[in-house]
Every structure is written in C-alpha cells, then in structure tokens.
Amino acid sequence: MLSRLLSAWLLMAICVAVHAVGVTTALRRVKRWPGLIDGRFWPSTWILVGVAGWTILLHMLEIVVWAVFYTWTQGMPDIQSAIYFSAVTYTTTGYGDLVLPVTWRLVGAVEALTGILMCGWSTGFFFTVVNRVLAARSGAESQSQ
C-alpha cells in the first residue's frame, strides 16, 4: 500500500509541475497580448478564451498522465478506459461504471484530490487574468475620457 501511495504522490507531483509550467507560460503570454493593453472587448474576450482553452489542455495532459499509469500498472484494461476513468476521477464526477482494483482505489482518491487542487489553481489563475483584463479596460476607459 505504501508503494501505491508513493506512486500517487509522484503522479500528483508531476501534475503540479505540469500545471506550474503551463500557468507560468500562459501568464507570460497574457502579459504580451495587445488586447490586455488597450482593453477592447473582442481582444480581451479572445484572451479569456485562449486562457480557458490552455487550462483545459493542461488538465487533459494531467489526466493522460494518470491514465498512462493506470494502463501501465494494469489498473485499467486499455488506454481508452484509463483516460475515461481518469477524467471522471480527476474531475470528481465519479460515475462508477469503471473502478480500479481494490488494492489501487486509494490511488484513485489521490487523483481526485489532485484534480480538485489543480482545478482550484486554474480558477485562481483565470480570476487573475480576468482582473487584469478588467483593469486594462478601466485604464483604457479613463484615458478616453
């Protein structure tokens, strides 16, 4: 059981690293986007769409990391099932139509906790970007008056 928890901890650490690199990359790009500077509606909206899409991509990558592990350890019969199970677990949807073997179920719980944490981080990041967009809009409106 300890080795399985260590594996789960390692997977969580990989997800945190992926998320850290992804969020840092996105933040650097957002700072350079022209829509953030002038505060116009459509450029600002496309910034938010881009950040949302990038964040979903990060989450999907993290889900695939867990799925590869489940397939490699025979926790799931194939990669398709593993990706589906991982997505349902990571997002805490938990349909229950696929389950890990009894000895691996605590790993699934750690994935769910990791998903909650990463989604919270993404929410905080998205909130930060929205605040920057709104601040740019306020600045642009006050300069035009």
The CATH number of residue 124's host domain is 1.10.287
The 10s digit of each residue's pLDDT in 43-77 is: 888 888 999 999 999 999 999 999 999 999 999 99
Q: What confidence category does residue 33 fall into, taking pLDDT thresholds of 50, 70 and 90?
A: confident
The packing angle between helices 79-90 and 41-72, to 10°, is 120
Q: Evaluate whether residue 142 is within a structural domain.
A: no
Distance CA 41, CA 35 (A): 8
Give the count of domains, the chain.
Answer: 1
Q: Evaluate whether residue 143 is within a structural domain.
A: no
CA atoms within 13 A on the CB side of 34: 2
